Amino acid sequence: MTQQSSPPGVRRVDARHRYEILVDGERAGLTAYRDRDDRRVFFHTEIDDAYAGRGLAGILVEQALTDVRASGMRIVPVCPYVAKFLEKHGEFADITDPVTPEVLQWLDARLGR
């Protein structure tokens, strides 16, 4: 087992509409979003295979959702991982909005799908 030199860090990259998790300065994964008014719609989370099994997705999503709260915004969990995380972490329930067909249609249009 190799020793990690520093704890993973999370940063918001507004220009790319995502939060990234860094391990020793390398991007290990991301959770992507689009903003709709005061709602941050999360639609995709991934961790690179090389970093799998370290609990990084949980750290990434928790810090991303904490940032959403600090920004005064609300969460819409289209991403299955974010939705599952929210089921286990009720502390974000007060700022979570349901995923509706209308939100999914809007997201598909934004992403050109």
pLDDT, residue 100, reads 98
User: So what's the pLDDT on residue 112?
Assistant: 94
Whole-model pTM: value is: 0.93
Q: How many CB atoms lie within 10 A of CB 28?
A: 21
| Chain center to CA of 57 | 8
Predicted local distance difference test score (pLDDT) of residue 3: 54
Q: Is 108 helix (H, G, I), strand (E, B) or coil?
A: helix
Predicted local confidence at residue 7, as pLDDT: 86
Residue 64 phi, psi (nearest 5): -65, -45
What's the pLDDT at 85? 98
Cα 89 from Cα 97, distance rounded (Å): 14
Task: Please report which residue ranges of the chain form alpha helices under DSSP H.
Answer: 56-70, 80-88, 101-111
Q: How far apart are CA 20 and CA 10, in angstroms?
A: 6
Residue 75 Cα distances to 44, 52, 111, angstroms: 13, 25, 18
Task: Report the C-alpha gap between 12 and 67 in whole angstroms.
Answer: 9
Averaged pLDDT in 10-residue chunks for the chain of 113 residues: 72 98 96 98 98 96 98 98 97 98 97 93
